Structure 1
């Protein structure tokens, strides 16, 4: 079993929690009939699938970019379910902080292995 990077660990936690929120947001959109059922279900499934792809590709830089796209799309879902503007913005802030912090920890670990005291 390979060691996961801090970016993978933290990113998968954020996206994992967001998967629950996206599912529940899709249920709210469906229950409020904000759009035809097929559109709501398709949009929800695509967004959830994109989050899963981001989790699976977090070992590469593209995974973080896909994760960022999920955050932006979650905010845009606020067009139909207005609370998603707030929820999406909160997850975007968490995502940015998590990715920044993970990179910082990775750099520190890298520097410590190169220059042991």
Structure 2
């Protein structure tokens, strides 16, 4: 999920650049830089989601993307949609892990 979101975040950085949505005094190309860096961080975070701190880091990125709505309101919409999908994925994934662990314990695997 975070891997797919990284593509959208990169495109969001391009949108910030193209719409000149950054505040005055900040070079507009920083929108692209932030989009690329955040996309890379999202991909890296997807590799550590087996740890509790990895889940928390994923939530931090979701909140950061929603906060991007102060620059461009569409980023808040994207952040809320992906935040909801991330919530579903983490909750459902945790329940599936617990169910599989219970099955493995009863089967002796």
Match of 1:46 among 20, 34, 37: 37
For residues 95 and 64 of structure 1, the distance between their equivalents in structure 2, rounded to whole angstroms, comes to 9
Residues 75, 89 of structure 1: 8 Å contact kept: yes
Residue in structure 2 matched with residue 82 of structure 1 by the alignment = 73
Normalising by structure 1, what TM-score? Answer: 0.80
Unpaired runs of 5+ residues, structure 1, are 1-13
- Work out which structure has the larger RCO, using CA pairs closer than 8 Å and 6 or more positions apart in sequence: 1
Residue in structure 2 matched with residue 105 of structure 1 by the alignment = 96
For residues 48 and 70 of structure 1, the distance between their equivalents in structure 2, rounded to whole angstroms, comes to 10
Structure 1 runs (4+) greater than 3 angstroms displaced: none
Residue in structure 1 matched with residue 53 of structure 2 by the alignment = 62
The alignment partner of 1:108 has SS state of: helix
For residues 55 and 92 of structure 2, the distance between their equivalents in structure 1, rounded to whole angstroms, comes to 13
Match of 1:22 among 2, 6, 9: 9
| Residue 46 of structure 1: how far off its partner (Å) | 2.8
Normalising by structure 2, what TM-score? Answer: 0.85
